Amino acid sequence: MELLFLVLLSLHILKTEAVVEHHWCYQSQKCAQPHCEAPEEWYLIDISCKGNKQSPINIVTKNVIYDKNLKPLNFEGYDVKGSSKWNIENNGHTVKVELSTSPKIGGGGLGRKYKATEFHLHWGVPGVQRYLPGSEHSIDGEKEAMELHIVHIREDVSNITEAKETADGVAVLAFFVKVEEENKNYATLINELENIKYKGQTTQMDPLPLSSLLPPEEDLGRYYRYEGSLTTPDCYEGVTWTIFEKPIELSISQISQFSTLHFDGRNSTHMIENFRPFQLLNERKVYWSSASMLLPAAKVLMLVLVLTYILSSLSQ
């Protein structure tokens, strides 16, 4: 009987160690949790994390391809304030806000409509005199303080699990967050962070029009587009990424509030640098929206007008 007990106990310990070893984490957690799998080891959790279409990426502007089909997106219901509260959760990796309504996006070369289900953020760490960058994507190697991701799934599916069963199941809108002046539209969300300091804690907030958290719609015509993945395991590849040039602005005090959260329970590591390093682009292309530049015909017309003005000035 004692031998059987020892065998069962050994199996239990081995099983427990296996679970611990296969918990994914960010690099900033490794000191406190040496057995967790950091980003370069995520493929041990899910082999998809070693795929050829992974996110995030560094966007090299000299290599982007102008695409005339990338018109401004159509935002449906983004300016609507729902009646049900938003659920906010510290899920041990980020602040996740589940939406009570389903605003939609379409157009902009997407090919179908997608409905928003949640948004979350990635951020860096407070420095001595400034906030060290924590965005996941970068442009020409430059990162911002934070990055907001609004996750959408195809409008013809019920949830993200079902969306992942298709090759184009998810569309994410990404916004850089820059250190500027205080943004009062974020006050309600930031005030609730005090109630979700530790992993597993949840709270609610009064809903807002989703558009109130974003730059004005007239500034959203300039964006980059590429095919990638989710930036956390299971690293599902089938995500259409739209990364906007115009950043959201928050004060350094507001941004710093996110770093007061913890990855786990009390006395655990503060939730800082919760971003995945950028991945290889491989054979993929990054496209630039048509709103980012004048159409060829418009450029020719502008050049003709300028030359006409110069010639008329010289003849006087």
Residue of higher predicted confidence among 300 and 189: 189
Res. 307 pLDDT band, cuts 50 70 90: low
What's the whole-number mean pLDDT along residues 15-28?
67
pLDDT > 90: what percent of the chain?
81
What's the whole-number mean pLDDT along residues 172-183?
97
* Residue-level pLDDT at 310: 63
Tokens (6 digits) for 306: 């300028």
Buried b (16+ CB within 10 A) or exposed e, 54-87: bbbbbbeeeebeebeebebbebbbbeeebeeebe
- 234 preceded by a cis bond (ω within 30 of 0): yes
Best CA proximity match to 171, nearest among 222, 214, 93, 117: 117
Residue 68 has pLDDT above 60, yes or no: yes
Rounded CA separation 62/56 (Å): 18
Residue 243 has pLDDT above 80, yes or no: yes
Res. 287 pLDDT band, cuts 50 70 90: very high
What's the whole-number mean pLDDT along residues 95-113?
96
Residue 284 has pLDDT above 60, yes or no: yes
Rounded CA separation 80/115 (Å): 14
Rounded CA separation 77/257 (Å): 29
φ and ψ at 197, to 5 degrees?
-65, -30
Integer angstrom CA distances of residue 199 from 89, 278, 285: 8, 26, 37
Rounded CA separation 137/131 (Å): 17
What's the whole-number mean pLDDT along residues 228-251?
98
* Residue-level pLDDT at 297: 46
Domains and CATH numbers, the chain: 1-45 (no CATH), 47-295 (3.10.200.10)
pTM for this predicted structure: 0.86
* Residue-level pLDDT at 127: 85
Rounded CA separation 279/235 (Å): 12
Best CA proximity match to 279, nearest among 48, 121, 64, 123: 48
* Residue-level pLDDT at 128: 75
In this predicted structure, which of 121-130, 202-211, 251-260, 292-301 has the lowest mean pLDDT?
Answer: 292-301
Tokens (6 digits) for 138: 């970068």
Tokens (6 digits) for 108: 């902009």
* Residue-level pLDDT at 130: 86
Best CA proximity match to 231, nearest among 273, 276, 272, 271: 276
What's the whole-number average pLDDT of the chain?
Answer: 90
Ramachandran bin of 267, using left for φ above 0, alpha for ψ from -120 to 50, beta for the remaining angles = left
> Is there a contact between 204 and 85 (Cβ–Cβ < 8 Å)?
yes
- 56 preceded by a cis bond (ω within 30 of 0): yes
The SS3 call for residue 259 is helix
Active site residues: 93
Residue 244 has pLDDT above 50, yes or no: yes
> Is there a contact between 263 and 25 (Cβ–Cβ < 8 Å)?
yes
Q: What does the pLDDT look like over 4-20, one tens digit per residue? A: 444 444 444 444 444 44
* Residue-level pLDDT at 129: 76
φ and ψ at 8, to 5 degrees?
-65, -40
Residue 60 has pLDDT above 60, yes or no: yes
* Residue-level pLDDT at 295: 44
